[in-house]
C-alpha cells in the first residue's frame, strides 16, 4: 500500500487493488493492471542492469503505445525522471533536447533508430538506448531490444521518495524547450487531480486513500487522442490510471478523425481527450459528414486541454453526443498544472476562478481588481527548470513568503473574483497545441541562401488557433525562391508543424533601434497573408 505520494507507489497500490481490471487497450498490446505492473518492473530491472538509477533521466521517444506508459512507470519505479520527447523533432532538435535533459536512457520506437545512431555520439551522459518493436522492421543496431529487457530478473525494490522529480518538456514562451521539474507529490495533486476526478470520493487526503479510489472508481475508459508527449494527455492518463480506469490507445502514425470515432465505438470509450480546435474541428466535421454512422451512447465526456477549444465547436460536438455527455475545457500550463475548467464569458473570453492558490501577478506583486498581469499558481508547483537557474528565477518567484509559478497566460482579475484569460502574453505561437518559437524558425529561414532577414509571427486560424507565417526580405542578387522551395529547405531543419504556412516578401524586415525584431509590425503584416 502506498505510504507516500510517489507515482510508482500509487500505481503499485492500484495494481494490487484491481489486478485483473483492464489497464491498456491497443491494437498491438492489451494489459491488465497486474500485467502492466509486472512488465514495468521487468523494464525497470533491465534499465537498472544498464546502469540507470535514481536521479537519472529517461526519454520516451515514441507515439501512443503501451510501452510509453510502461517506460514512464518503470522510470518512476527506479526513482529516475521520465521525460517526454516530441517525435516530430529532427536530429538537431533532438540533439539539443537529449543534451539538455542529460539523458541517461532513451526508449525509442524502432523507426527512429537511424536518428538515434546519428546523435548518440553527441550525448556523453547516455548509458542505454532501447528500441521498441513497432512493425517498421528497422535496423535497431546500437540499441537494446525492448522485449529483451523484459526478460531481466527483478532487481528491486528501489529507493524512491515523493520529492523525486519527473520532467515535462515544454516549448514555453521564449527560447528553446525547457524541462519543468515536477516533484511526484506536486504532480499528483496539481496535474492528476489528486485522483479525484473520476469517483465520488474526491481527491485523496493521504496516500492510503488510493485504495478506495481504485476499488470504487467507475469502470470507465479514457481515450487520449492527443499524443502522450503532451502534458495535457499524460495528466489525464495518470488521473485515470490512479482510479483503475482503462486507457484506450491509438497507435496510428497520423491523426484520422474517422478512425478515431471508429475506435471510440469499437472500444466503447467513455471519455475522449483532445488538444483544442486542431483536433476538435476535424472530429466535428467527420460527425457532420457521416450522419448516423456512430453510436456514441457510450461517451460521457469530451474534454480538451492545452489549446483553444472554441465555444461554437463545443456546441457543434455536443449536439452529436448523448444528452448525459459533458464537454470540458481544462486550462493550465506545464509550469502551473491544471488551473481549472474554463468558463466562457458573454464576449467569448475564457475565465478561471481565483483563490488562495491562483492569482494574477504583475511585476512580482498580486494584481488588484481590473489590473492585467499573468496567471500564477502556488501550493503544489514545480521546483524549476532542469539545469536552467536563470529561467527558473524568472518564472518561479517568491511573493509574500510563498513560491508562485508564473504562467505565460496574460490575464485580468475581475471584480467577481474570476480571472479573464487573454492568451499567451509573448511571441510564442500556439499551433494546434504545439509551441513554435519565432526565433528558431527565423534562424532557419536566414540560413536560406536567398533570404537576407526574417521575422515570424502567428496568424489567426480557425482550426489550428494560430498558423506560422514568415515575413522575409530577399538577399541582393539572389533569385526569389518559390514558397515550396523554402519549405523543402526548412523541412530538413525543423519539425513539420514549425514550417511557415505562408511567406510574405518585404523590402526590409523592420527592427527596433536596438536591432530586435518588431513583432507587432510582423503580426500586422502576417494577418492577411494567403
Count of all residues that appear for the chain in the document: 530
Euclidean distance between CA atoms 262 and 164, whole angstroms? 40
**332 is written with which cell numbers?**
493550465
Domains of the chain listed by start with CATH number: 7-253 (3.40.50.12780), 347-424 (2.30.38.10), 429-526 (3.30.300.30)
pLDDT confidence of residue 514 = 45
Q: What is the pLDDT of residues 208-238, one digit of tens each?
A: 999 999 998 778 999 999 999 999 899 999 9
Interatomic CA distance for residues 213 and 196, integer angstroms: 8
Place of cell 489525464: 236
Give the integer Cα–Cα distance in Å for 49 and 39.
15
DSSP character for 325? -
Using DSSP's 3-state secondary structure scheme, residue 215 falls into helix
What are the cell numbers at 308? Answer: 483553444
- pLDDT at residue 331 in the model: 86
pLDDT score, position 173: 39
The DSSP letter of residue 151 is: T
3-state secondary structure (DSSP) of residue 111: helix
Give the tens place of pLDDT for each residue, 173-192.
345 789 999 999 999 999 99
Q: What is the pLDDT of residue 442?
A: 87
Q: Which of 367, 380, 465, 382 has its CA nearest to residue 419?
A: 367
In sequence order, the 6+-apart residues with CB closer than 8 A to the CB of 475 are: 449, 450, 451, 452
Q: What is the pLDDT of residue 515?
A: 54
Q: What angle do CA 31, 32, 34 make, to 5 degrees?
A: 120
Phi, psi of 400 (to 5 degrees): 50, 40
Joined grid coordinates for residue 106: 532513451
pLDDT at site 135? 93
Calculate the CA 329 to chain-centre distance. 15
Residue 516 has a pLDDT of: 62
Q: Which residues of the chain, if any, have pLDDT below 50?
A: 172-174, 513-514
pLDDT of residue 425: 61
Distances from the Cα of 529 to the Cα of 281, 320, 518, angstroms: 22, 34, 17
Amino acid at each position: 500500500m502506498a505510504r507516500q505520494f510517489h507515482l510508482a507507489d500509487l500505481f503499485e497500490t492500484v495494481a494490487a487493488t484491481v489486478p485483473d481490471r483492464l489497464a491498456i487497450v491497443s491494437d498491438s498490446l492489451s494489459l491488465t493492471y497486474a500485467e502492466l505492473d509486472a512488465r514495468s518492473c521487468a523494464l525497470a530491472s533491465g534499465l537498472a542492469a544498464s546502469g540507470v538509477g535514481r536521479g537519472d533521466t529517461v526519454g520516451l521517444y515514441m507515439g501512443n503505445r503501451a510501452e510509453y506508459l510502461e517506460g514512464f512507470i518503470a522510470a518512476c519505479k527506479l526513482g529516475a525522471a521520465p521525460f517526454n520527447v516530441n517525435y516530430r523533432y529532427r536530429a538537431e532538435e533532438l540533439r539539443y533536447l537529449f543534451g539538455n535533459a542529460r539523458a541517461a536512457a532513451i526508449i525509442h520506437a524502432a523507426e527512429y533508430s537511424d536518428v538515434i545512431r546519428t546523435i548518440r555520439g553527441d550525448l556523453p551522459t547516455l548509458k542505454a538506448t532501447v528500441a521498441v518493436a513497432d512493425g517498421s522492421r528497422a535496423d535497431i543496431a546500437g540499441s537494446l531490444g525492448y522485449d529483451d529487457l523484459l526478460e531481466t530478473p527483478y532487481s528491486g525494490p528501489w529507493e524512491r521518495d515523493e520529492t523525486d522529480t519527473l520532467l515535462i518538456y515544454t516549448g514555453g514562451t521564449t527560447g528553446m524547450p525547457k524541462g519543468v521539474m515536477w516533484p511526484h507529490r506536486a504532480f499528483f495533486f496539481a496535474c492528476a487531480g489528486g485522483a479525484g476526478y473520476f469517483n465520488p470520493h474526491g481527491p485523496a487526503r493521504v496516500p492510503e486513500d488510493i485504495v478506495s479510489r481504485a476499488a470504487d472508481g467507475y469502470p470507465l475508459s479514457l481515450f487520449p487522442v492527443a499524443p502522450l508527449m503532451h502534458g495535457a494527455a499524460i495528466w489525464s492518463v495518470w488521473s485515470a490510471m490512479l482510479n483503475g480506469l482503462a486507457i484506450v490507445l491509438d497507435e496510428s502514425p497520423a491523426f484520422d478523425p474517422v478512425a478515431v470515432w471508429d475506435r471510440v465505438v469499437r472500444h466503447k470509450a467513455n471519455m475522449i481527450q483532445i488538444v483544442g480546435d486542431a483536433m476538435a474541428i476535424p472530429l466535428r466535421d467527420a460527425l457532420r459528414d457521416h450522419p448516423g454512422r456512430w453510436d456514441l451512447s457510450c461517451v460521457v465526456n469530451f474534454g480538451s486541454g492545452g489549446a483553444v477549444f472554441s465555444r461554437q465547436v463545443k456546441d457543434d460536438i455536443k449536439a452529436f453526443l448523448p444528452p448525459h455527455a459533458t464537454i470540458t475545457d481544462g486550462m493550465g500550463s506545464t509550469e502551473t498544472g491544471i488551473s481549472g475548467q474554463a468558463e466562457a464569458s458573454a464576449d467569448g473570453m475564457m475565465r478561471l476562478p481565483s483563490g488562495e492558490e491562483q492569482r494574477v501577478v504583475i511585476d512580482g506583486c498580486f494584481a488588484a481588481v481590473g489590473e492585467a498581469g499573468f496567471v500564477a499558481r502556488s501550493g503544489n508547483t514545480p521546483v524549476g527548470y532542469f539545469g536552467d537557474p536563470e529561467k527558473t528565477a524568472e518564472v518561479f518567484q517568491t511573493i509574500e513568503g510563498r513560491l508562485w509559478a508564473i504562467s505565460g497566460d496574460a490575464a485580468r482579475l475581475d471584480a467577481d473574483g474570476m480571472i479573464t484569460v487573454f492568451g499567451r502574453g509573448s511571441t510564442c505561437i500556439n499551433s494546434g497545441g504545439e509551441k513554435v518559437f519565432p526565433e528558431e524558425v527565423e534562424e532557419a529561414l536566414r540560413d536560406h541562401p536567398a533570404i537576407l532577414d526574417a521575422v515570424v509571427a502567428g496568424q489567426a486560424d480557425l482550426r489550428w488557433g494560430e498558423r506560422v507565417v514568415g515575413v522575409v526580405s530577399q538577399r541582393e542578387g539572389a533569385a526569389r525562391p518559390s514558397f515550396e522551395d523554402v519549405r523543402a529547405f526548412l523541412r530538413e531543419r525543423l519539425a513539420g508543424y514549425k514550417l511557415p504556412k505562408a511567406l510574405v516578401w518585404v523590402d526590409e524586415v523592420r527592427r527596433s533601434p536596438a536591432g530586435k525584431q518588431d513583432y507587432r509590425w510582423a503580426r500586422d503584416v502576417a494577418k492577411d497573408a494567403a
